[in-house]
Amino acid sequence: MQSFDHDATYRLTAALLKAIQNGERLALSACAVSPAIYAEIIEELEYSGQKVTELTVPPYHLAFKPDGSGRVPLDIYQTEADPQSRRVACQLWSAGVKTDLTLIADYSENHGQAALRFRLLETQ
């Protein structure tokens, strides 16, 4: 992806996390998060021991750079299913350190509008 997409992806990922933190139905719905999926997200967060209000996206200056293990905290990659969209995998942080949680969404642009569609919250 080109560098200008990084800004949009970072902003959209942060907005999705904020919507999850605040339980904003309209914002969640725009990202394909139904009330049932939202309940599952909250359950996964409770299971992981993380407080949703303390989670953040990685700092921007580190987000797109591989860490010591080679993992990119906010990774954007093409999928085989749809060449027009990208998959976003964002390692969530808490209190300035990495967590084991990864927020996964699909990034797409339609008519010049960028959007994220929630896929999964997983513990790694």
Q: Count the neighbouring beta carbons within 10 Å of the beta carbon of residue 53.
A: 9
Q: Give the model confidence (pLDDT) of 17-64 as tens digits.
A: 999 999 999 999 999 999 999 999 999 898 889 899 999 999 999 999
End-to-end Cα spacing for the chain: 25
| C-beta of residue 5 within 8 angstroms of C-beta of residue 76 | yes
Reported as a single tens digit per residue, the pLDDT across 63-122 is: 999 999 999 999 999 888 777 778 999 999 999 999 999 999 999 887 778 889 999 999
What are the structural domain ranges in the chain?
Answer: 3-123
Task: Encode pLDDT of 77-90 as tens digits.
Answer: 988 877 777 899 99
Instruction: Sort 92 into a burial class: Cβ within 10 Å, 0-12 / 13-18 / 19+.
Output: buried
pTM summary value: 0.90
Separation CA 68–CA 120 (nearest Å):
25
CA–CA gap between residue 91 and residue 58 (Å, rounded): 7
